[in-house]
Structure 1
Amino acid sequence: MLAGTAAPADGLIKDTTTAAFRQDVIAESMKQPVLVDFWAPWCGPCKQLTPVIEKAVKAAGGKVKLVKMNIDEHPQIAGQLGVQSIPAVFAFDRGQPVDGFMGAQPEAKIKEFIARLVGPGSAAADELLAEADTLAKAGDLGGAAELYAAVLAEEPENLAAIAALAKLHLQLGDIEGARRFLAMAPAAKANDPAIAGARAAIEVAEQSASLGDLAAFEARLVADPNDHQARFDLAVGLGGKNRREEAADQLLAIIRKDRGWNEDAARKQLVQFFEAWGPTDPATIAGRRRLSSILFS
């Protein structure tokens, strides 16, 4: 979208006038920061900046708004603010101009500018979460925890960060710590997939912790390969130790031999594993495929 065309009707971006400036900028900035983009139809750099700044504002997830003002039609406010060249962007917070820049800027610079105003917003939080996930998979649990905590410092109800920290504590063997983080999630979000997954992971860890040494179940299976209860308990124990493929193997073996054993317990446990591991985990994807081949063969 070029400056001067109709603004999106999502409430985040709009055009304003001198008469509407007090409501659109001063009053609105009492709720969240408002960026004011001063532009003109003849300004080439303005046309470069507008789509970039609009994209960044949308990515901030409602933590900042954008108001555009055509200075050819409404020169008074720009004059009062001492605008000498355009494009010029001013950030208003709590009714006052607090920051700004002039000239077209790259997207990364605009994101940094917005982040200074609102902290890690939606886009920045997503980037931190992705980086934290990478560190966690690489085994740097401390580094991952720091990044998840940084997201929560700005967004205390960020469900992905809450769930990730709960699971991180499970990897450290701290079930109580995992419960404490899970308790941070709003009650209304209890069924969110991320929170439900963390809750399932905690339940698996609790079940596994109650089983003790897994060697006893392995010995029972050597004596009797059809001891489904021993195989089931072994699967739960393996799941609690994050040995995902092995855990799925044991449950699938039960389902293959006796689908209805113990009121479908093996399939139900496998589904709980899938929920705890997450839908995109390789073990979940492979397990679902194998389960389907058994159930629908």
Structure 2
Amino acid sequence: MTQAISSDPSNVRVALDMAQIFLDIGEIEQAQSLFDRLPEVAQKLDIGISIASQLNFKRLAQNTVGIAQLQAYILKSPNDYQAYFDLAVCLFSEHDIERGIEALFFIQENDAEFKEGAAKEMIGMVCNMLEGTNPEQAKLYRQRLANLISQ
């Protein structure tokens, strides 16, 4: 694979697409293994950054109790900001950016200092991730965050 990528740079795109497919079908270890073998230049492409972010969210989500349980916690304790934060991570790992970002904005609106501003930091990270694929949405989220901070 590494030799094929070196001899034909278009193979980098194929390898990145394959890593994305592995992620989409839940084969995180295979996606990570393939991604790790790619040259740094490929990892820094927009799709490479997106895959790296997805891998990170998948790993973080594995350390939570899962979406259903987190939603149940939130129903019982609507101010459980840790549950909202973990839910956002899980939702991002499933490509549900809008619901994930809403969970983070809920934290930001109600307790901006939760975990030393973790919601604000993650909103910024998600905006950076979206910049290459959906710059308009990233801009809207940044404006919304700026408006909250300036209040």
Q: TM-score range by the shorter chain?
A: 0.7 to 0.9
Tell whether the 8 Å contact from 2:23 to 2:31 is kept in structure 1 after alignment: yes
CA RMSD of aligned residues (A): 2.8
What is the CA-CA distance between 1:240 and the residue it aligns to? 1.0
Q: Give the 4+ runs in structure 1 shifted more than 6 A.
A: none
Deviations 1:87-125 (Å, cap 9, x if unpaired)? Answer: xxxxxxxxxxxxxxxxxxxxxxxxxxxxxxxxxxxxxxx
TM-score, normalised to structure 1, is 0.42
User: As a proportion of its length, which structure holds more helix?
Assistant: 2
8 Å Cα contact 2:104/2:123 also seen in 1: yes
Structure 1 residues 191 and 241, CA gap change in structure 2 (3 angstroms): closer
Q: For residue 9 of structure 2, what is the aligned residue in structure 1?
A: 155
Instruction: Count residues with an aligned counterpart.
Output: 145
Q: Which residue of 1 aligns with 2:36?
A: 183
Identity %: 22
**CA deviation string 1:166-219 (max 9, x = no partner):** 2332112111122123123324x3872533332121000111133243222112
Q: 1:220 to 1:196 in 2, by over 3 A?
A: same
Which residue among 79, 82, 100 is the counterpart of 1:247? 100
Q: Deviations over 1:5-37 (max 9, x none)?
A: xxxxxxxxxxxxxxxxxxxxxxxxxxxxxxxxx
Distance 1:166 1:274 in 2: 22
CA contact (8 A) 1:157 1:185 kept: no
Confirm or deny that 1:214 pairs with 2:72: no
Equivalence for 2:26: 173
Of stretches 172-181 and 267-276 in structure 1, the one that deviates more from structure 2 is 267-276
Corresponding position: 1:236 with 2:89: yes
- What is the DSSP-based 3-state SS (H/G/I as helix, E as strand, rest coil) of the residue aligned with 1:183? helix
Q: How does 1:262-273 map to 2 (within 5 A)?
A: 262-273=115-126
- When you count strand as a share of all residues, which structure comes out higher? 1
- Tell me the SS of whatever aligns to 2:21: helix
Judged with a 3 Å threshold, the aligned counterparts in structure 2 of structure 1 residues 209 and 263 are, in CA distance, closer, same or farther, namely same
1:288 aligned to 2:142?
yes
Against the structure 1 CA distance between its residues 207 and 162, is the aligned structure 2 distance closer, same or farther, given a 3 Å change threshold? same
1:135 is matched with none
- Residue by residue over 1:51-77, the C-alpha shift from the partner in whole angstroms, topping out at 9 and shown as x without a partner, is xxxxxxxxxxxxxxxxxxxxxxxxxxx
- Structure with greater Cα Rg: 1
Tell me by how many angstroms 1:252 deviates: 0.9
Q: Who is 1:196 aligned against?
A: 49
Shift in CA distance, 283/209, structure 1 to aligned 2, threshold 3 Å: farther
Q: Which has the higher contact order (CA 8 A, sep 6+)?
A: 2
Unaligned runs of 5+ in 2: none
Query: Which amino acid in 2 is paired with 1:255?
Result: Q
Trace 1:111-126 onto structure 2 (pairs within 5 A).
none
Structure 1 unaligned segments of length 5 or more: list them. Answer: 1-150
Task: Return the letter of the residue paired with 1:155.
Answer: P
CA change 1:193–1:226 in 2 (3 A) is: farther
Alpha-carbon distance between aligned partners in 1 of 2:29 and 2:89, rounded to the nearest angstrom: 19
